[in-house]
Amino acid sequence: MVSPKQETAQPSPTLSASLEGNEGGQPSSDDDGEECCGEHEVCEKGKIKRALRTDIEYFNDEELDRYRGTAPDEYEDDAVEEFREVLYTMYTSEIEDWLKSLELREIAVPDALKDELFMLLESNKQ
């Protein structure tokens, strides 16, 4: 005798969730061929994969490595402009991956750039 399939509740996306949306609620396939279930505004699988990632992905920003260990409030104006230049040359959908890359490289985002980052991340949600 086959038991009926039981569905489990899925966690809802949080504010700090990844912004990899699934437009139209349709299942989508990622790079490894696995499908998103399409039940969430933000793909839970993408959030988990990003959080567990340990490989460093560069966004044509190797020059920022010299800021490793610099505190967010210690950047000079020219350094903030270097970060800003990288930020505005990428797609908004890449920003969270870039932030993860900086985190893995132990590079803090300058305080002077954080408001712009939040604004761009919010605009990507819509």
39-71 pLDDT tens trace: 655 556 555 555 556 688 899 999 999 999 999
Q: Are residues 48 and 99 in the same domain?
A: no
Plot region of 24 (φ>0 → left; ψ -120 to 50 → alpha; else → beta): left
59-64: long-range contacts, CB 8 A cutoff, minimum separation 24:
59/86, 59/90, 59/94, 59/97, 59/98, 59/101, 60/86, 60/89, 61/86, 61/98, 61/101, 64/102, 64/105, 64/107
Q: Are residues 68 and 47 in the same domain?
A: no
Q: Are residues 113 and 66 in the same domain?
A: yes
Q: At 58, phi and psi to the nearest 5?
A: -95, 145
Q: How confident is the model at residue 123 (pLDDT cuts 50, 70, 90)?
A: confident
The DSSP secondary-structure symbol of 8 reads -
More confident residue, 119 or 56: 119
pLDDT of residue 8: 32
Would residue 16 count as lying in a domain?
no
Q: Are residues 69 and 43 in the same domain?
A: no
Number of separate domains in the chain: 2
Is 64 within 8 Å of 86 (Cβ atoms)? yes
Q: Are residues 79 and 114 in the same domain?
A: yes
Would residue 111 count as lying in a domain?
yes
Q: Are residues 66 and 48 in the same domain?
A: no
Q: What is the mean pLDDT of the chain?
A: 73
Q: Are residues 45 and 70 in the same domain?
A: no
Q: Are residues 117 and 94 in the same domain?
A: yes
Q: Is residue 10 predicted with pLDDT exceeding 90?
A: no
Q: Which residues contact residue 41 at a Cβ distance below 8 angstroms, ignoring those fewer than 6 apart?
A: 13, 21, 22
Q: Are residues 69 and 105 in the same domain?
A: yes
**What is the domain extent for residue 106?**
62-125
Structure pTM? Answer: 0.60
Q: Which residues contact residue 77 at a Cβ distance below 8 angstroms, ignoring those fewer than 6 apart?
A: none
Would residue 90 count as lying in a domain?
yes
Q: What is the pLDDT averaged over residues 71-76?
A: 98
Would residue 105 count as lying in a domain?
yes
More confident residue, 53 or 30: 53
Q: List, in sequence order, the alpha helices (H) in 70-110.
A: 77-87, 95-104
